[in-house]
C-alpha cells in the first residue's frame, strides 16, 4: 500500500511539474510559444550540457548486398534510444560520408519494423525508430503514457543528432519521415535537432496532423460522451502541451512533403489542413486514394514508397 501511495505521489508531482511548464507556454504570445517549448524541452533533457552518448551496435543480418544493424544509444535522462538500420553491406564502417539516410518514425505498433515495410529506397540507409515504451508498459503503469509523450521527441532528436555525426553518412542527405503517430511527435524532435545543428534534407509527413486535441477527440468520440471527452482530452493535452506539433511546425526548415489519404478517419481533415498551413515553403502535398495508413495496408504503403522515392531524387 505504501508503495502504491509513493508511486501515486511521484506521478502527481510529475503531472503538476508538467502543468507548470505548460502554463508558461500557454501564457506566452503565439509566436513565442514554440521557442519557449524548445527551451523547456532542452532543459528537461539536459541538452544544454555536452551530450554524453554511448552507442552499442549489433549486426543482425547480412548478405552480399544488405546488412541490418541495431544501434542502442544510451542517455542518462532519456534512457535507451533504439534504432534499426538497413543499408548497403559494410556501410556502417565506411568513412567517406557517402551514404544518404532516412529515419522513419512510424505508428506506435509498427516502430522500427517500418524499414522492412517501406521497401528499399535506392542509395538510402533506412533507419527505423523504436518507441521507448510498449503497450505492455502502459498496461502495467498507465502513468507511463506521459513519460512516453515526454521522452519520444527527445529520443528522436538524439537519433537525428547521432546520425548526423557518423562518418558513413552524407550530412546533407538526412531525410526524416513521420507516419501517423510518428508525424505527431516528429515536429518537436526536428525542432530540437535543428537547434542542435542537424541539417534535415527533407521532412516527410504521412497520414498525420498538427492539432493533438482534434486527433484525440476524433479517435475517442465513439467511446465517450461530450463532457467526459472534453475533460479527458484537456487532461491529456495540458501536461504535454510543450510537445504539441502545432507549436513547432512553424520553426522547421523545409523542404516538406506531405502525403495524405482521402478516406482517413483517424486524422481529422481540419488537423491535416493545419499541418500543411503551419509549414513554411517550399512544401508539396500529395493526396492518395485510401484509408489511414496502417502496417496491413500494403498497396497503400507501396504507393507511398513510390511518391517518397520520386520526391527524394
Q: 281: Cβ–Cβ under 8 A, 6 or more apart, which residues?
A: 254
Tens digit of each residue's pLDDT (9 = 90 or more) over 278-312: 999 999 999 999 999 988 888 999 999 999 999 98
d(CA 86, CA 101): 10
Give me the pLDDT at residue 149, please: 84
pLDDT given for residue 29 in this prediction:
46
> In what order do the strands lie in the sheet containing 99-105?
54-62, 66-75, 79-88, 124-130, 99-105, 169-179, 203-206, 256-261, 283-288
Q: How many CB atoms lie within 10 A of CB 29?
A: 7
pLDDT-based confidence at 6, cuts 50/70/90? Answer: very low
**What's the average model confidence in pLDDT over 159-177?**
96
Domain boundaries of the chain, sorted by first residue: 2-49+93-312
Lowest average pLDDT, out of 12-16, 28-32, 53-57, 77-81, goes to 12-16
pLDDT over threshold 60, residue 16: no
> Could you tell me which residue, 107 or 59, shows the higher pLDDT?
59
230 pLDDT exceeds 60?
Answer: yes
Could you tell me the three cell numbers for 158? Answer: 538524439
pLDDT attached to residue 233: 61
Instruction: Tell me the average pLDDT across 250-279.
Output: 94
Q: Does 111 score more than 50 pLDDT?
A: yes
Domain range 2-49+93-312, CATH class: alpha beta
- Residue 265's pLDDT band (cuts 50, 70, 90): confident
Percent of the chain with pLDDT over 90: 58
The CA-atom distances, in angstroms, between 71 and each of 43, 83, 85, 104 are 25, 5, 8, 15
pLDDT digits (tens, 9 = 90+) for 118-132: 877 878 999 999 999
Amino acid at each position: 500500500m505504501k508503495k502504491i501511495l509513493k508511486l501515486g505521489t511521484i506521478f502527481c508531482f510529475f503531472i503538476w511539474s508538467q502543468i507548470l511548464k505548460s502554463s508558461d507556454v500557454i501564457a506566452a504570445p503565439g509566436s513565442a510559444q514554440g521557442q519557449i517549448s524548445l527551451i523547456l524541452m532542452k532543459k528537461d533533457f539536459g541538452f544544454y550540457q555536452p551530450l554524453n552518448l554511448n552507442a552499442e551496435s549489433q549486426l543482425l543480418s547480412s548478405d552480399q548486398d544488405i546488412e541490418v544493424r541495431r544501434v542502442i544509444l544510451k542517455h542518462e535522462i532519456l534512457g535507451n534510444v533504439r534504432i534499426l538500420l538497413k543499408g548497403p553491406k559494410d556501410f556502417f564502417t565506411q568513412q567517406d560520408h557517402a551514404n544518404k539516410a532516412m529515419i522513419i518514425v512510424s505508428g506506435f505498433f509498427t516502430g522500427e519494423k517500418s524499414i522492412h515495410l517501406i521497401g528499399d529506397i535506392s542509395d538510402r540507409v533506412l533507419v527505423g525508430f523504436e518507441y521507448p515504451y510498449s503497450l505492455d508498459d502502459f498496461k502495467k503503469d498507465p502513468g507511463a503514457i506521459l513519460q512516453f509523450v515526454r521522452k519520444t521527441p527527445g529520443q528522436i532528436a538524439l537519433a537525428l543528432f547521432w546520425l548526423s555525426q557518423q562518418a558513413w553518412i552524407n550530412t546533407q542527405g538526412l531525410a526524416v519521415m513521420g507516419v501517423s503517430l510518428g508525424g505527431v511527435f516528429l515536429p518537436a524532435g526536428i525542432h530540437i535537432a535543428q537547434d542542435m545543428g542537424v541539417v534535415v534534407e527533407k521532412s516527410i509527413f504521412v497520414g498525420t496532423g498538427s492539432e493533438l486535441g482534434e486527433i484525440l477527440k476524433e479517435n475517442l468520440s465513439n467511446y465517450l460522451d461530450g463532457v467526459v471527452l472534453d475533460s479527458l482530452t484537456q487532461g491529456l493535452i495540458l501536461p504535454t502541451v510543450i510537445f504539441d506539433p502545432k507549436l513547432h511546425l512553424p520553426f522547421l526548415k523545409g523542404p516538406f512533403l506531405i502525403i495524405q489519404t482521402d478516406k482517413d478517419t483517424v486524422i481529422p481533415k481540419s488537423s491535416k489542413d493545419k499541418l500543411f498551413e503551419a509549414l513554411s515553403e517550399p512544401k508539396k502535398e500529395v493526396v492518395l486514394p485510401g484509408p489511414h495508413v496502417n502496417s496491413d495496408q500494403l498497396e497503400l504503403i507501396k504507393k507511398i514508397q513510390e511518391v517518397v522515392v520520386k520526391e527524394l531524387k
